[in-house]
Structure 1
């Protein structure tokens, strides 16, 4: 792949109506496709909202079918935040929609996921581990978050160090503000302020470049 275009959706929906979340996700997906993005990453729990006291139930395949159709028809890979049932308990997870697979793949959220351009699966990474299982061919680590100012500062410090230590670009999608992209040297390429928007990055021969696309 001579050029790889990616985006983080700075998406701040806090309600628990899955159908409305799906419609709102479609707006971001269509804009990302218009920007010729190959990958779009949403914040944690973007499909469900955070819930009140307990995590919301996981959406089913029928509810999420429009997102799979959009990924296929627009030729874009989408990572969205959801909930999962594991050992009878709800936990935070990721839903993966890819153009060439007719099913939705679900993963535990972990600290984030590493990707290889054009690959059809995620590798879930624990960045606190002394030896995270990063594939040597992975080009990008993605982090789906929904954190306020204090935890955001902790997150960006951790992610920047991770990018530098493991020589991998890092894309953080945060719900309300501060989404960011670092290159494989740990240098900040672009960071968003507040509001709903797309933070985009493009990897070409000259390295990473970034931009901010408002959603009016």
Structure 2
């Protein structure tokens, strides 16, 4: 019997539409929870879109009301969920590019992007990474886009004992062959499975390729999405290895999520 343990939420978000993007995230979370997923990974800056020039205005602290419904839902269904956000940190003039980890027990933490693309330093501060996660006995190291362009980043993850290297990215069609080959190479080199979650639609003028994928410890592509669009890539671990399936997204008729009760909070859309 196979048990779904990981999933890539390839979502087509709307830049700056925090309320709408939260609702889309909740739809993905509900469907993943119904499938028994233990860890759900969203793309880079999934809640705001990849728009560096507006990142400072959209940045949120880790204790933001924006994250409350997502955090409460993750705890209610017992599913660790990782969402992308410009993270405002006290004492930092510029936000970090963060993968906010909404733990199954209700806790929240953040992985912050360590290596910035050329030009990102104008809008963001480099981060410090984060701790390994453990999901159903699987040790997972996080990365955000340009992190994986540094071989030392994946090497460090492997030396720390990661079973899976999970990367939240924004990759366009022209760069996809090169970037996916890097990730596949890490799987082969380090004997470490790789999960890559890409955007499913355009963001800030970038036409994302979609094609989220999972490579096993030998570098074989177990499953991938067919292209762009809203898709859920569910990865299961069997006794003899991994298997995966790509599922159409919420625009294919998923029901609206049953929202958890959270405390009242002021609107965060204009922060």
TM-score normalised per structure 2: 0.71
Which whole-Å CA distance do the structure 1 matches of 2:173 and 2:93 have between them? 33
Corresponding residue for 2:109?
105
Instruction: Provide the aligned C-alpha RMSD in A.
Output: 2.4
Which whole-Å CA distance do the structure 1 matches of 2:182 and 2:68 have between them? 35
Q: Which among 82, 89, 102 is matched to residue 85 of structure 2?
A: 82
Give yes or no for contact 2:47–2:85 (8 Å, CA) kept in 1: yes
CA spacing shift, 1:9–1:142, aligned 2, 3 Å: same
Residue correspondence of structure 1 range 5-84 to structure 2 within 5 A: 5-51=5-51, 53-56=53-56, 57-60=58-61, 61-84=64-87
Query: Considering only CA atoms, is the larger Rg found in Structure 1 or Structure 2?
Result: 2
Q: Unpaired runs of 5+ in structure 1?
A: none
Q: 39-48 or 147-156: which moved more?
A: 147-156
Once the two structures are superposed, residues 114-143 of structure 1 have per-residue CA deviations (whole angstroms, 9 ceiling, x without a partner) of: 543258x97555542444243554221111
Q: Aligned with 1:210: secondary structure?
A: strand
Question: Is residue 116 from structure 1 mapped to residue 134 from structure 2 by the alignment?
Answer: yes
Corresponding residue for 1:93?
98
Corresponding residue for 1:213?
247
Give, in angstroms, the shift of residue 4 of structure 1: 5.1
Q: Aligned with 2:76: secondary structure?
A: helix
Q: Aligned with 1:13: secondary structure?
A: coil
Larger % of strand: which? 1
CA spacing shift, 1:210–1:85, aligned 2, 3 Å: same
CA spacing shift, 1:14–1:109, aligned 2, 3 Å: farther
Once the two structures are superposed, residues 84-113 of structure 1 have per-residue CA deviations (whole angstroms, 9 ceiling, x without a partner) of: 23631123111000111x332122134787
